[in-house]
C-alpha cells in the first residue's frame, strides 16, 4: 500500500512509519519541514501546511491516509490562545487532508483520523462504548466533536473513514514518563482522590489498531483505541509502584494541581471508563489488554 501520514514525525507517527515499512508499504510523511529529514527507498517526506508546498503534485496515487496531526495537549497552561491552538490545529489539519483528497486524481480508499476519548466527557460512574452518541459538554468534548465532524466529510468522496478515539497512550514518550517521575523520587501516590478512571492503551496497540483499521474494510466511524481494562488513578499508581518496586503513598492534592495547571488539571483529575467494544467485535486482539504487563514491557526494558 501507499500510505500518507500527517504527524508522522511524532511519538506515534515514527513508530507507525517503521511498522508500515516493515510490512512492505510505501510511506509518505506530510510535514512542514521536509528538508529536515532524509528520504529512503520506502519513506518520502513531503511538504505540507505551508503556502509554498503543493503535496498533491508530489504524491502518487494513495491507498490510505492516516491523520495524526494536532497541538500537544500537555504543553503549557490552557490559556484562551492555547485552547484555540488545540482546536484549530486539529480542525485545520483535517481540512487540509480533505483538500488533498479533493485535489488528487485517485481517491484513497480509507482515512484513519486520530480522535480522543475526550469525546465522552468525564464521569466516575458511567461507562462508554462506541454506542454512546451524545458527546460531553466540556472543552475537550467540543474539540473532538468538531474534529470528527470535519473528518466525516471524507465519506462524501467515497472514503471509508475511521475515527480512532485514543486513550492515554503508554510508551517511552508521552504521558507515562511524567507519571513515573514522582515514583522514582520515592514520592508517588494518587492524584486527587484517585477515584478517576484512566482509559489507557499501550503504544504497540495504538499502532496495531491503526494498522487494523487500514486493512479491515468493516472498520468505520468511531473506534475506541483503549485497552479493555481501564483503571482508576489510584490503581494505576499502585501498579507503577509495584513494577518499579517503589512506594505509593504521597497524594497530589486537587486544589494544588488546579492552581498550578489551571483548566489543564482536568487531564489528571477527571477521566472516563471507555471500553473498546467495536475493535473487539471486529476481531482485534490486544497485545497488552492488562496494565501490569504493559507497564513492565515499557518500564523494565
pLDDT at 294: 98
d(CA 301, CA 296): 8
- How confident is residue 36, by pLDDT bands cut at 50, 70 and 90? very high
User: What pLDDT sits at residue 141?
Assistant: 97
Instruction: Report d(CA 198, CA 106) in Å as an integer.
Output: 41
C-alpha cell at 197: 478512571
pLDDT at 74: 83
- Look up the pTM and report it: 0.96
Name the band, by pLDDT with cuts 50, 70 and 90, for residue 103: very high
Chain centroid, CA 253 distance in Å? 27
Checking DSSP bridges between strand 64-67 and strand 43-47, what pairing results, if any?
unpaired
Over residues 274-290, mean pLDDT? 98
Task: Give tens-digit pLDDT for 64-79.
Answer: 999 999 999 987 899 9
Q: How many domains does the chain have?
A: 1
pLDDT of residue 259: 87
Q: For 212-262, how does the pLDDT look when each residue is reduced to its tens digit (9 = 90+)? A: 999 999 999 999 999 999 999 999 999 999 999 999 999 999 998 898 889
Grouping H, G, I as helix, E, B as strand and the rest as coil, residue 260 is helix
- Cβ partners under 8 Å of residue 96, min gap 6: 6, 48, 49
The radius of gyration of the chain from alpha carbons, rounded to an integer in Å, stands at 19
- Closest to 5 measured CA to CA, from 204, 211, 160: 211
For position 301, what pLDDT does the model report?
85
Distance CA 194, CA 268 (A): 10
Confidence (pLDDT) at 260: 84
Quick one: cell of 238? 499502585
- Could you report how far apart the first and last alpha carbons of the chain are, in Å? 32
The band of 17, judged by pLDDT with boundaries at 50, 70 and 90, is very high
Cα–Cα distances in angstroms (integers) from residue 217 to residues 111, 159, 212, 221, in the given order:
11, 11, 9, 11
Q: CATH code at 154?
A: 3.40.50.720
The pLDDT value recorded for residue 60 is: 96
Print the domain residue range for 9.
2-299
User: Mean of the per-residue pLDDT values for the chain?
Assistant: 96
Contact call for residues 16 and 210 (beta carbons, < 8 A): yes
Amino acid at each position: 500500500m501507499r500510505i500518507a501520514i500527517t504527524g508522522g514525525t511524532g511519538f506515534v507517527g515514527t513508530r507507525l512509519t517503521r511498522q508500515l515499512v516493515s510490512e512492505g508499504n510505501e510511506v509518505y510523511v506530510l510535514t512542514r519541514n521536509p528538508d529536515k529529514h532524509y528520504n529512503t527507498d520506502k519513506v518520502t517526506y513531503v511538504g505540507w501546511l505551508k503556502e509554498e508546498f503543493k503535496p498533491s503534485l508530489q504524491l502518487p496515487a494513495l491507498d490510505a491516509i492516516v491523520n495524526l496531526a494536532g497541538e500537544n495537549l500537555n504543553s503549557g497552561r490552557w490559556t484562551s490562545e492555547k485552547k484555540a491552538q488545540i482546536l484549530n490545529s486539529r480542525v485545520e489539519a483535517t481540512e487540509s487532508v480533505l483538500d488533498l483528497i479533493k485535489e488528487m486524481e485517485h481517491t484513497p480508499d480509507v482515512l484513519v483520523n486520530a480522535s480522543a476519548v475526550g469525546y465522552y466527557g468525564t464521569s466516575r460512574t458511567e461507562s462508554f462504548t462506541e454506542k454512546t452518541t451524545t458527546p460531553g459538554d466540556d472543552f475537550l468534548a467540543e474539540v473532538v466533536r468538531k474534529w470528527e465532524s470535519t473528518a466525516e466529510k471524507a465519506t462524501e468522496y467515497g472514503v471509508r473513514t475511521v475515527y480512532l478515539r485514543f486513550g492515554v497512550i503508554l510508551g517511552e514518550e508521552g504521558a507515562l514518563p511524567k507519571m513515573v517521575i514522582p515514583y522514582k523520587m520515592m514520592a508517588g501516590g494518587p492524584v486527587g482522590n484517585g477515584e478517576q478512571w484512566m482509559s489507557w492503551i499501550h503504544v504497540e496497540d495504538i499502532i496495531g489498531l491503526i494498522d487494523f483499521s487500514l486493512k479491515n474494510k468493516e472498520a468505520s466511524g468511531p473506534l475506541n483505541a483503549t485497552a479493555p481494562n481501564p483503571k482508576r488513578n489510584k490503581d494505576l499508581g499502585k501498579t507503577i509502584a509495584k513494577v518499579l518496586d517503589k512506594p505509593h503513598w504521597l497524594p497530589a492534592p486537587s486544589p494544588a494541581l488546579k492552581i498550578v495547571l489551571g483548566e489543564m488539571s482536568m487531564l489528571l483529575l477527571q477521566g472516563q471508563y471507555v471500553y473498546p467494544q467495536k475493535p473487539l467485535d471486529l476481531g482485534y486482539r490486544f497485545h497488552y489488554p492488562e496494565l501490569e504487563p504493559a507497564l513492565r514491557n515499557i518500564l523494565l526494558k
